[in-house]
Amino acid sequence: MGRIILEHVSKEFPGGVQAVRDVSLEIDSGEFMVLVGPSGCGKTTILRMIAGLEEVTGGEITIGDRIVTDAKPKDRDIAMVFQNYALYPHMTVEQNIGFALKLAKLPKDEIQKRVREAARTLQLEDWMQRKPGQLSGGQRQRVAMGRAIVRDPSVFLMDEPLSNLDAKLRVQMRAEIARLQRDLEVTTIYVTHDQSEAMTLGDRVAVMRKGRLQQLDAPHRLYREPVNLFVAEFIGSPAMNLVGADVVRENGALHLRFGEHRLALDPTTLETRPGLARYEGRRLILGIRPEDMEDAAISGVAGEDRSLSAVVDIREDMGSEIFVHFRVDAPPLRGEDVRAAVGEDALEATADATAGGVLFVARVDRESRAREGDALTLSIDARRLHFFDIESGDAV
């Protein structure tokens, strides 16, 4: 019932602003789909077009077995949860949850039954006679969820529902939303700019940039196999380390050379990424995730062509792990190198570079004894490296 199909959907606002460009999506019934991307990428506009709150400039939207491109919001069998909760301040929790059912003129006993069920599901029974002003942010968010649940829709649409909560409460509510969606088995489209939310909640995640769909995939595939530089830089925290590297042949084997550093490309890497051979004698963009580096004193793996030598600039002790910041003596990636590939909105990680090299971060074991100012050898698994074309930004 809740299957959603977007076919070549576009949205152009007055003045020629193209908010959404030719987006096609197919969302299965019962699936939890997350739209993620930086501000202004078009994700909320897509949600509002599905809800019927924005007109579609081009393309077609289907919900269930009906084309709803031009249908009114009330005829789409959807329920929306907004960022600002949109609760009526003069009504009690009970009245807020049941208000839509009252407008639909359902029998009073049916309204009471549905409201009680929603309250029990969301553990709201003790707050039913309170008004929104007497509730915490997390409690208000539950009420907003309850108002959506009682309508028993075929689709939930959630627009940044946790952005007004503090960090600890966001994590708690994230788990509650995941449990609720699993139990109700309702098709859900969730919009967020927070990639951690996207990766933990979504069955699949659609990464957006400047109105275009960049990649649609399961979270683990977005992380392991980003299709381009933008997705690679956007997904993951801390962000992927990026540097320009030359592919050179030394002693009969291919190596990556950047500044004074050299990494061997082992046969397994070349076998799984045959396109790398075409870059011999050329420069590409090398990506190394912070968690794919380890203090060689702990890993026991070193070697001139399997590690980086660094001097610790900053040590951040996170308790369960340690973030080590250091500079790599290599020419920094400047905006003009990759602007065509990813645009200015994805250059934050590369912009923080000076004549002293490129700023890198490694996520190492908490047992590492590396301190600020210490020399450190970081072992790297070449099988986990990422490579991108310097002109197109596409993954190699």
Q: What is the pLDDT of residues 188-229, one digit of tens each?
A: 999 999 999 999 999 999 999 999 999 999 999 999 999 999
Question: Do 367 and 288 share a structural domain?
Answer: yes
Question: Do 220 and 132 share a structural domain?
Answer: yes
396 within domain boundaries: no
Residue 59 has a pLDDT of 97
Question: Do 147 and 221 share a structural domain?
Answer: yes
Give the structural domain span for 275: 234-388
Q: What percent of the chain has pLDDT over 90?
A: 62
Residue 155 has a pLDDT of 94
Question: Do 141 and 86 share a structural domain?
Answer: yes
395 within domain boundaries: no
Of the candidates 198, 233, 268, which is a domain's last residue? Answer: 233
Q: Please give the tally of structural domains in the chain.
A: 2
Tell me the pLDDT tens digit for each residue of 89-142.
Answer: 999 999 999 998 998 889 999 999 999 999 988 888 999 999 999 998 888 888
Question: Do 39 and 99 share a structural domain?
Answer: yes
Instruction: Give the list of residues 6+ apart from residue 84 with CB closer than 8 angstroms, or none.
Output: 164
Question: Do 71 and 100 share a structural domain?
Answer: yes
pTM exceeding 0.75: yes
Question: Do 255 and 214 share a structural domain?
Answer: no
Instruction: Decide: 205 and 222 in contact? Cβ < 8 Å.
Output: yes
378 within domain boundaries: yes
3 state DSSP class of 111 = helix
Structure tokens at 269: 């890497």
Radius of gyration for the chain, computed over Cα atoms and rounded to the nearest angstrom: 25
Instruction: Decide: 95 and 146 in contact? Cβ < 8 Å.
Output: no
Alpha carbon of 43 to those of 135, 214, 316: distances in Å? 29, 12, 34
Question: Do 300 and 197 share a structural domain?
Answer: no
Burial class of 83 by CB neighbour count within 10 A (0 to 12, 13 to 18, 19+):
middle
* Band of pLDDT at residue 305, cut at 50, 70 and 90: confident
Closest CA to 211 of 66, 393, 348, 58: 58
Question: Do 329 and 197 share a structural domain?
Answer: no
Instruction: Decide: 81 and 145 in contact? Cβ < 8 Å.
Output: yes
Task: Evaluate the CA torsion angle 159, 210, 353, 255 in order and state its sign.
Answer: positive
Question: Do 309 and 270 share a structural domain?
Answer: yes
